[in-house]
Structure 1
Amino acid sequence: MKGFLKIFFASLLALIAFSLIGIIIVVWMAGNAVSDDKADVGSNAVLVLDLSASFPEQTKDNTLNALFDSEAEASIPGLYQAIRLIQHAKSDSAVKGIYIKASYNNNGSGANEELRNAIVDFKKSGKFVIAYGEVLTQKAYLVASAADKVYCHPKGGLDWSGYSTQLIFFKNLLDKLQIQPEIFYAGKYKSATEPFRVTEMTSANREQTSVWLGDLYGSFLLHIAEARKLDTASLHRLASDGAIRTASDAVNFKLIDAARYDDEVKAEIFSRLKTKEIEKLNFVSLSKYAKSVNLNKGSFDTRVALIFAEGDIVDGKGDEGQIGSEPFRNLFRKARFDKNIKAVVLRVNSPGGSALASDVIWREIMLTRKEKPVVVSMGDVAASGGYYIACGGDSVFADANTITGSIGVFTMMVNMKEFFKNKLGITFDGVATSPYANTGSATRPLTDAERRFLQADVDSVYMSFKERVASGRKRSVTYIDSIAQGRVWTGKRAIEIGLVDRIGTLQDAITCAVRMAKIKDYRIKEFPERKSLIDQLMGGGATKSVKAKAIREEIGEEQFMLFQQMKKVKGWFDIPQARLPFELRVN
């Protein structure tokens, strides 16, 4: 027995020692990967804006992926950081111009608007901006069109087909499987549950979708018309006629400047730099450039809290990429009691989620607002629950193409009794101490009384939602009800109906908060604070990242997004939801 114990504890000690050594090695490797030493961008640097990179709202530590992927950056610049880096490059003598990689664009309408504005502002420096893509998508072209020159591959081209969006409906599938969804909602435009209760878009949903999609497309045409000195009617007609089929068509109709090969574009950049052509240009990624500059200057004693709320709103702690009611409640509480924080800016990029979680966060925002200014900035989406937490701000900013509104509520149940019985041969039985003890069970249909209770719950939450908005926007509940009903609006229209105060960027919102707080020398403090590498390792971040990447590569991007959406649907049951329908994807 003693011999066994010796072997056991010796093995345990060896395992602990090995684990500690492993952690130390990983931390050392990470330290080398993300050294704080200033990066040298060299001379004749050309800043690269790769639109295929998806810019999160807040800069993210990507060390874990960078350790195992030589092509991955150790840090993923957030949108706000990317904008500030472009602004800094405007006056940086080391940066001679910007090169936009414009084949694809994985960013939303609000982010594209801010990136495009940053490029337009950068050009005022007199430095060059060149955009190139083998085949330019419309979303990529929207940003690229702000460049001095736009090129594509001679055998590539430009997608010029107009905007579209498509929903998937499961009603027929559920009928075949004999699965009966039990759906309760408030707001005639609240379309989140449509995929489960109808086989095509309702007239109300088609109406609202036509309006917001038309707004986005109209904005797109206006930007292109201004940049290319064309008129919107002619641009629209080109799409309607299917006139742009080849790179030559895009050149002939003056949508791009020329069809060129990659080497020809790089030769022009060398020419603009007035240097001899060599193997490689001094292309500098945003991530590398971020290491060479200090964007956050100012007094440590006077701060503006910048709180990024990105993702689904969920009850409790939530996961990374979600807005958990518990941590975000605590963030606002911390900002409220920190005397060095003079103002708060809330950046919202969320389709909503749990109505209860939204109300928890809303309450903390209102308490904070009593102590110091709270200004809201909307990103790509700030709708439903996302608008719930935004409506309490002293001032609300949005991009013209922000998707917002969707003031409505729904919840879902499911009756799988016939599916289990007829498809699987499974039946259920049991006992209960009261008639409603097993309400929500998937093994039986709801009773009429239970349906009344659930609809009453949804109606109650909807009324509270409207009251919160009415209070924040200083309007009557009756008026808010007339523009609510779950209807989706663009930022441009949201101003007209009073849901938003101003069109502006995140920086505009920060400037407003600073003015309201009557401060000058200040430093931005970002929340949530970034996790250390050890926290990421202990939290299983590496495992989740590897799993997600493996699934995405195996089933493809489209199928992966559908898979993610179906996972989200699981959280809709029995909890009143203030959220948008699925993902609003524009093609």
Structure 2
Amino acid sequence: MKQFFLTVLGVFTGLILFVVVIPVVLLTVAVASTAKPTTPANTVLELDLRDGISDQPSTNPFAAFGGSGLALTQVVDGLHQAQGDASVKAVLIRLPEGGMTPAVADELRQAVHRFRASGKPVFAHSQGFAPTGAVMSTYMVGASASELWMQNTAGFQATGFSADSLFLGRAFQKYGVKADFEQRYEYKNAVNEYTQSDYTGPHREAMTAWMSSIYDSALGQAARDRKTTAPALRSLIEAGPYTAEQALANRLIDKVGQVEEAETAAKSRAGKGAEIVEFGEYLSQKGERTGSGRSAIAIVGGEGAIVTGRGGAGSFGGGSSIHSDDTAEAIYDAIEDRDVKAIVFRVSSPGGSPEASEQILAAVRAARAAGKPVVVSMGAYAASGGYWVSSQADWIVAQPTTLTGSIGVFGGKFVLADALGRFGVDMRGLTVGGEYADAFSPSQSFTPAQRAAFAGSMDRIYDDFIGRVATGRKLPVERVREIARGRVWTGAQALPLGLVDQLGGLTEAVAKARELARIPADQSVRFKRFPKEKSPWEAISEMFGVQTEAARTLIMLGGVMADPQAQAVMQRVNGERMRSQGAVVLADQPMF
């Protein structure tokens, strides 16, 4: 019977390889071997933002199976290339109806302005601005266009910025779950959702402050682009909502019409015989901008929660994490590359493991010690552990609405014994060793001695964090303690506090890296990206736990998977996971 199940599993595995993997690999090879199509002479690029975009492209060649595949850094790079591409005459942006991640919107707006500075128009079309999340950030991107269109049946409901938090304190109390946590300090609000039924004073204060900062920033930028004042735009918007016709009458938009009409207008501006080309298709044709010259600037990417260990291809899609081994290795590779004169570290992370964060920060310090300046470019988040890894860079660039800071730590456990007991499930524990051996058992609360020991570890991590920030930012320790306490700041708020050096995006970070590396302004530079994207063979080998050559052999000889000895290959599929560390330097993550 066991042999039967092993054989069935082998046949099923072989089918997966033949039905899924082989077509993907063959398609990849076929596409790579086919000449890239040329862009039509008069092209309108259509950038659809309605499915959302990640901050950075994945190194997994199969990641496109998990989503739209568009990344912010690729869009910015594509718009830069389109500026000088004689065949691209205009851009049409399809706006989402809801809110957009504010820092993403900031970077897109900057890229739109650079594109328009080349003399080419940008059209934006909206099917409505719904009252969800940071919808003002979405409107800000639309306002940066040459013409902002709205569908006739759509509503202009961008009247402010709202966010909701879910508190489980009463539910946990009702069902016997105890959230046994320590936090450093009162602004480290991620714990509150487990322990409270409403905002605490510090939680409400900090959240209101960064929401107001984001709202004010979006209003100010949109007002400049609509050629009005921020107070006037605020009064007008907050008097809404409006129909599309009312929005037009109030000069909040430029045209009312269907997207097909906006496309026709864009093609008319582009010239005779103009064609619409999807932005992703254009990116595939052009590839990444690599530049030229003897000197190179390394672009090291990191997006997602920070965890220890190495990442694998994992699956044919999925989310992102910053794995400390991979990211540190990427920085060390850039250090060892003689052509690389400076490193731009793109960080978009709400934080994670303090141990993983310290491993990455050690690589940043090593780069500086090797004489290679490190400039951090912060994305949507660079908070808590994301700030830890950034804190000792030579220069930090953040968007006005980047969420950063959150210099603090929390940790603990959920005690489940009482909750399970109400359903007739009894949890009991056994332990051998010291008193701290079962400290994180869900069957009982911390003992006084365990809590004292755990609280001590929280204090040590917090002090380590404070010390690294004080050293990196050249601030007195006591000053860092004042502005830390787990509080989240926007980039605009962090600048006068000394937590960041400059407002801007990846473009500004690259310019600063050139300056710090003393690369002459008239000298071309190359861009080298780390870690490099894996080949399909490498990704397959990681997914199935075998060497690249073995992966090739298994694919070509898929029938061998019926052999029981080959079954082990399929048993080692690795998924993403956040290892339990007892403590995390992780910021609460707003939903935009």
Q: Secondary structure at the match of 1:275?
A: coil
Instruction: Tell me if structure 1 keeps the 8 A contact 2:155–2:243.
Output: yes
Distance in 2 (CA, whole Å) between partners of 1:500 and 1:14 is 53
> Superposition pairs for residues 17-416 of structure 1, below 5 Å?
24-33=22-31, 37-60=35-58, 64=62, 76-104=69-97, 107-137=100-130, 138=135, 139-241=137-239, 243-275=240-272, 282-293=275-286, 296-299=289-292, 302-318=295-311, 321-371=320-370, 372-416=372-416
Instruction: Tell me if structure 1 keeps the 8 A contact 2:405–2:484.
Output: yes
Q: Bigger CA drift: 346-355 or 37-46?
A: 37-46
Distance in 2 (CA, whole Å) between partners of 1:429 and 1:14 is 40
How big is the shift at 1:16? 7.6
Distance in 1 (CA, whole Å) between partners of 2:269 and 2:210 is 41
Q: Bigger CA drift: 453-462 or 285-294?
A: 285-294
> Relative to 1, partners in 2 of residues 1:235 and 1:441: Cα closer, same or farther, differing over 3 Å?
same
Look up the match of 1:527: 530
Q: Secondary structure at the match of 2:251?
A: coil
Distance in 2 (CA, whole Å) between partners of 1:59 and 1:435 is 46
> Relative to 1, partners in 2 of residues 1:136 and 1:374: Cα closer, same or farther, differing over 3 Å?
same
Q: Bigger CA drift: 531-540 or 325-334?
A: 531-540
How big is the shift at 1:244? 2.4
Instruction: Tell me if structure 2 keeps the 8 A contact 1:378–1:402.
Output: yes
> Relative to 1, partners in 2 of residues 1:423 and 1:476: Cα closer, same or farther, differing over 3 Å?
same
How big is the shift at 1:309? 1.1
Q: Secondary structure at the match of 1:56?
A: coil
Q: Secondary structure at the match of 1:390?
A: coil
Distance in 1 (CA, whole Å) between partners of 2:11 and 2:255 is 67
How big is the shift at 1:324? 1.2
How big is the shift at 1:63? 6.0
Which residue type is aligned with residue 537 of structure 1? I
Distance in 2 (CA, whole Å) between partners of 1:297 and 1:391 is 28
Structure 2 portions without partners, runs of 5+: 314-319, 545-574
Distance in 1 (CA, whole Å) between partners of 2:266 and 2:292 is 40
**Partner residue of 2:583 out of 571, 576, 586:** 576
Look up the match of 2:540: 537
> Relative to 1, partners in 2 of residues 1:571 and 1:540: Cα closer, same or farther, differing over 3 Å?
closer
Which residue type is aligned with residue 363 of structure 1? A
Distance in 2 (CA, whole Å) between partners of 1:318 and 1:59 is 15
How big is the shift at 1:335? 2.1
What's the TM-score, normalizing by structure 2? Answer: 0.85
Which residue type is aligned with residue 199 of structure 2? M
Instruction: Tell me if structure 1 keeps the 8 A contact 2:248–2:255.
Output: yes
How big is the shift at 1:415? 1.5
Look up the match of 1:474: 474
Which residue type is aligned with residue 174 of structure 1? F
Distance in 2 (CA, whole Å) between partners of 1:15 and 1:119 is 47
Distance in 1 (CA, whole Å) between partners of 2:481 and 2:431 is 43
Which residue type is aligned with residue 496 of structure 1? P
Distance in 1 (CA, whole Å) between partners of 2:536 and 2:454 is 44
Distance in 1 (CA, whole Å) between partners of 2:452 and 2:59 is 48
Structure 1 portions without partners, runs of 5+: 542-566
Q: Which has the higher contact order (CA 8 A, sep 6+)?
A: 2
Look up the match of 1:441: 441
Instruction: Tell me if structure 2 keeps the 8 A contact 1:397–1:505.
Output: yes
Distance in 1 (CA, whole Å) between partners of 2:581 and 2:110 is 43
How big is the shift at 1:331? 1.9
What's the TM-score, normalizing by structure 1? Answer: 0.85
Q: Secondary structure at the match of 1:169?
A: coil
How many residue pairs were aligned? 542
How big is the shift at 1:317? 1.9
Q: Secondary structure at the match of 2:190?
A: coil
> Relative to 1, partners in 2 of residues 1:330 and 1:264: Cα closer, same or farther, differing over 3 Å?
closer
RMSD: 3.0
How big is the shift at 1:245? 2.9
Q: Bigger CA drift: 101-110 or 248-257?
A: 101-110
> Relative to 1, partners in 2 of residues 1:391 and 1:260: Cα closer, same or farther, differing over 3 Å?
same
Alpha-carbon deviations, 1:293-336, whole Å to 9, x = none?
36534457532211101100012224561111222222222222
Q: Bigger CA drift: 287-296 or 37-46?
A: 287-296
Instruction: Tell me if structure 2 keeps the 8 A contact 1:132–1:151.
Output: yes
> Relative to 1, partners in 2 of residues 1:29 and 1:417: Cα closer, same or farther, differing over 3 Å?
same
How big is the shift at 1:395? 0.9
Distance in 1 (CA, whole Å) between partners of 2:79 and 2:98 is 18
